[in-house]
Structure 1
Amino acid sequence: MHTTHRPTRRLMLGAAVALAAPAVWRSALAQGRLRPTPSQTEGPFYPVALPADSDGDLLVQGSRRYAKGHAAQLEGTLTDTEGRALAGGVVEIWQCDAQGHYHHPGDGGRADADFQGFGRVTVGADGSYRFRTIRPAPYSGRTPHIHLKVRLGSRELLTTQVYVQGDPGNARDFLWQRLRGEDRTALTVAFEPAGDALRARFPIVVAA
């Protein structure tokens, strides 16, 4: 006598869970990914020629010392969206001096020669980077900001700008005003007292 075995409720539930598992796993993975740092325009003042000294200390060039403005340290980590350090990645920053002038022909060559104005560091195994510079200064039409670019080998992964939390110029800045919600939060950081200088942390996440 042939007996037909009907699937029990438990078996049917188990099969449904097995079928759904890959989708649930993919959803959980997606939720665990880090949000990429928002990009912004490069602006007109990326250096035409890089300074002979283009390390991470923008306040010292050989015997020259830049003592204007408020010394600040900008630091953080460079990771991909899975949180993995991008060892070998290169972080660049450039900004105006304390009087609001860039080392660029388009700005009339008026920048203080004692201010390096551009820095570049290669990220190590832990993904950390650090620059010694000044708290960004305003110039005509713009709130204080630091330009930042990330490269990995021959690829350019990110160009953006870093803003100062609580600066009154932000509310009048057209690029800062265009940022929405999480993007504005991601690019606006606190420059807090740390001894004789200020310190700001800016984590960078890129889709590598």
Structure 2
Amino acid sequence: MNQSNSFSRRRWMAGAFGIACFTTRGLFADYLFPSPSMTEGPFYPDKMPLDQDNDLIIIGDSLTPAVGEITHLTGRVLSTSGEPIRNATVEIWQCDANAVYLHTADSRTKQSQQDKNFQGFGRFETASTGEYRFRTIKPVPYPGRPAGHIHAKVKVGGREVLTTQIFVRGAEGNARDGIYRSAGDVIDRELVTADFTPVPGSKIGELAASFDFVIGRTPDDRNFPSTRRAPR
């Protein structure tokens, strides 16, 4: 986990309990604040593509890549104590560089502008390290959504434990995006924001983004995380 991402997730208790947090070994010291739950939105694929792997840039055996700024999205699925969660399925979906989703309600009227080389949806299952990785494009704004964003779900044991969105840090549209603002306070918004930075030495302008999903509880706990749904 990168240090800035880890640090931004930590909330220390204040007031009378503040001293205990720093002096009592293990007391709250390793607590990571759960990733905020956000609206799924209307465009989770209604017809799944045949290719559902973690490379959204290339479909099947095609030699033509998708249009957009290629981004390597990586991170881990973690518990609030910082333990990696294995066998978690991470799903992402987003519109293409022309602002078209892989959903018939959106693409039906935009067939001429849809990037047919963009997969639009992908899956990855974590191993013992909890790590996941995708190759996709930097998210772009969508009509009515001024902030570029990537939708994401995390499933454990076949059960959905988190639905959220990933936003580009510093993007101009964030301040005008109602869903981004509805994530909560400054810390909550930080938890759904990632840096998209140039990959050193890349000759085609690739970007890298790191984002950790922190799950409050998993099916193994016999409970599920409470959700705070943003308005649709």
Match of 1:136 among 139, 151, 156: 139
1:87 aligns with 2:92: no
The Cα shift of 1:105 comes to: 1.3
Distance in 2, Cα, partners of 1:154 & 1:63: 29
Q: 2:72 is matched with which residue?
A: 73
| Native 8 Å contact 2:67 2:115 kept in 1 | no
Structure 1 spans left out of the alignment, 5+ residues: 1-23
Q: 1:112 is matched with which residue?
A: 115
1:148 aligns with 2:146: no
Q: Counterpart amino acid of 2:193?
A: T
Q: 2:27 is matched with which residue?
A: 29
The one-character-per-residue Cα deviations of 1:166-203 (angstroms, maximum 9, x if unpaired) are: 11111111111223111111111110000230000001
The Cα shift of 1:28 comes to: 4.3
Q: Counterpart amino acid of 1:150?
A: V
The Cα shift of 1:76 comes to: 0.3
SS at match of 2:174: helix
The Cα shift of 1:68 comes to: 1.1
| Native 8 Å contact 2:153 2:163 kept in 1 | yes
Q: 1:182 is matched with which residue?
A: 187
The one-character-per-residue Cα deviations of 1:110-153 (angstroms, maximum 9, x if unpaired) are: 33221000000000111110000000011101110000000011
Residue identity (%)? 45
Structure 2 spans left out of the alignment, 5+ residues: 1-22, 219-232
SS at match of 1:169: helix
Distance in 2, Cα, partners of 1:113 & 1:153: 32
| Native 8 Å contact 2:94 2:121 kept in 1 | yes
The 1:67–1:61 alpha-carbon spacing in structure 2 relative to 1, beyond 3 Å, is: closer
Q: Counterpart amino acid of 1:199?
A: A
Distance in 2, Cα, partners of 1:29 & 1:50: 45
Distance in 1, Cα, partners of 2:148 & 2:190: 16
Higher strand share: 1
| Native 8 Å contact 2:35 2:214 kept in 1 | yes
The Cα shift of 1:69 comes to: 1.1
1:102 aligns with 2:101: yes
SS at match of 2:67: coil
The root-mean-square deviation of aligned C-alpha atoms, in Å, is 1.7
Q: TM-score, normalised by structure 2?
A: 0.75
SS at match of 1:30: coil
SS at match of 1:148: strand
The Cα shift of 1:66 comes to: 2.4
Distance in 2, Cα, partners of 1:130 & 1:149: 14
The one-character-per-residue Cα deviations of 1:53-102 (angstroms, maximum 9, x if unpaired) are: 10100011123232411100111011111111111000000000000000
Q: Counterpart amino acid of 1:97?
A: D
Q: 2:209 is matched with which residue?
A: 200
- Largest Rg, 1 or 2: 1
The Cα shift of 1:31 comes to: 4.0
Kindly report which structure 2 residues correspond to 1:41-60, keeping only aligned pairs within 5 A, or say none: 41-60=39-58
Instruction: Answer with 31-40 or 190-199: which moved more.
Output: 31-40
